Structure 1
């Protein structure tokens, strides 16, 4: 079990995932959750902090507090995306984003698409130093990715458990998707809704998908990427039909992917005609062909050798 939890991965994968996660934090502030700053405009009596907010305890949001969290988080996330000071900046980003989420989710609605992303922010500071393109493998980085992957799958499996807990099979037999399409459906969703019984079949399919999601850990490695691709396609359909993005969850799910193979900086340098940055010498194992040949093993260059 320990070997599975700490399965070593290339440091380049950690560097790429770290950059992706921290850049999304900055994008989240200005694109996906800028509405959090408007929460301070409502009366403080409406602020009902989550349990963790009551246990710490955290103060009631004010314009000054939310403004400081916003700008501090934006700056530190962009700095953390460079990979420098990964522990200091990583823990700072996690603490600030955690507070940002408590403010966002303490007014009556809690989004479960943030769980795996918060776990990723919590474990990335422990992953160690990493450079883009570095092929050396790290168990600490492997543990950080594995914990994030488990959180991604828990999001699916526990969502199915919640459906059974509160609705049972009536959830699958009901009109959940129909109500979602009425509230926020697209033209594509309207077309799908006209097919008899298709929405009921889709609801059973969603339950089956969520319950079977842990199988991603036991399928052969050659099928794992395709399985994760199916996960992404499920969310693509969700966005195209009922406009629910699950963006932070999709970022966390990139922990399953070989992100070290995606190197935009190298691609840009090649377009500009510049050589890619050199990989550290200590990271590249010596090639057997480069080993010196001893005099005893060297072939005899004389014409009569072997005669």
Structure 2
């Protein structure tokens, strides 16, 4: 009779689930490729800000905590180049720790500079966490499907950061806007300021915008439930939140792409590696079958062996 699982063991198993290394390999490639996009497209104003007078630099709390000085143009230019080159190499799953840690620190500095001039985007929380936990896993490969607690812990941290982004967003909304945020004209103001073709039509239905505000708050409060869902229910929940971001972008041009990319931590990415494994075998079998159909000798062994099809003339002679 097996011993009962203690609560402490359940907690440990939840924080350190056994998940395949191949999932980390695919996620690592996606995250590091997005770092290039983030530096060059999403937070692409750090260099211009560095050329502004130093008095415009108002460091956020974390930047003040680590005594991050005002950016200098030459420094951030070098940092940008290092991040882009390092992330492209790291996306190939090479040197996961040697490149991973400097990229995590460098990207954090880059984001802190980008957010220290008056505008803070909370969609980068999960991405920053992902960059700091991925190096802890070490080497991984898309074809390495061995279960590993290190992979599970890293993925769980990213999942928690994704969920925390939503719950902390509600806290910020109510803290600074009060309950007028969901019940007032918040989206109406957003549509008028940065609305799209869809948003301009929604302006004529203000009741729908107020309903959307309450749905937003409810969805963000319900985000922690994703952590306990499995299978089809989890897939539907992830699809709901991704659809939420798509509609938000269609209405007011806010994309949350850094957060959206980190939703991959909930996906069975190891299936990509499994498909890559089976594809060369299928291609090889098809090639051998074509050669056999042409009556050519096929020198193979094992389960890929294919008997050549005899020439029709040879059949008649026989």
Say if 2:145 is the partner of 1:139.
no
Q: Displacement, 1:15?
A: 0.1
Deviation (angstroms), 1:168: 2.6
Provide the residue aligned with 1:170 in structure 2: 180
How far did 1:262 drift?
Answer: 2.8
Aligned mates of 2:214, 2:186 — CA distance in 1: 11
- Determine the structure 1 residue equivalent to 2:6: none
Q: Is the 8 A contact 2:188 2:206 kept in 1?
A: no
Distance of 1:70 and 1:244 partners within structure 2: 24
| Secondary structure, counterpart of 2:70 in structure 1 | coil
In 2 relative to 1, CA 274–22 (structure 1 residues): closer, same or farther, beyond 3 Å? farther
The question of whether the paired residues in 1 share the 8 Å contact of 2:158 and 2:262 is answered with yes
Quick check: 2:167–2:220 contact (8 Å CA) kept in 1?
yes
Matched, 1:48 2:22: no
What per-residue deviation string (whole Å, max 9, x for no partner) do you get for residues 38-68 of structure 1? 1122111111122222232222211111111
Q: Show structure 1 runs of 5+ residues with no match.
A: 276-307
Give the direction of change, closer, same or farther, for the CA distance of 1:253–1:220 in structure 2 (3 Å limit). Answer: closer
Residue 122 of structure 2, aligned match among 112, 115, 119: 112
TM-score, reference length from structure 2 = 0.82
Give me the whole-angstrom Cα distance separating, in 1, the residues matched to 2:171 and 2:67: 30
Query: Aligned partners of 1:142, 1:220: CA distance in 2, in Å?
Result: 15
Does structure 1 residue 123 correspond to structure 2 residue 133?
yes
Supply the distance in 1 between the matched residues of 2:106 and 2:177 (Cα, whole angstroms).
Answer: 35
Secondary structure of the equivalent of 1:42?
Answer: coil
Cα RMSD after superposing both structures: 2.1
User: Alpha-carbon deviation of 1:135?
Assistant: 1.5
Q: Which structure has greater helix proportion?
A: 2
Counterpart check, 1:95 vs 2:105? yes
Corresponding residue for residue 305 of structure 1? none
Q: Give the TM-score normalised by structure 1.
A: 0.84
- Using the alignment, how far apart are the partners of 1:41 and 1:127 within structure 2? 38
Partners of 2:171 and 2:58 lie apart in 1 by 26
- Structure with the greater relative contact order (CA < 8 A, sep ≥ 6): 1 or 2? 1
Q: Which moved more, 1:189-198 or 1:76-85?
A: 189-198
1:248 aligned residue: 258
Q: CA deviation at 1:142?
A: 0.5
For residues 131-183 of structure 1, give each alpha carbon's deviation from its aligned partner in whole angstroms, at most 9, with x where no partner exists.
01322111101000001100110110111122222233211111110011001
State which of 1, 9, 13 in structure 1 corresponds to 2:19: 9
Q: Summarize the alignment of residues 16-27 of structure 1 with structure 2, pairs less than 5 Å apart.
A: 16-27=26-37
CA distance in 1, matches of 2:109, 2:23: 28
SS at match of 2:150: helix
Aligned pairs for 1:1-307 (under 5 A) are: 1-263=11-273, 266=276, 273=283
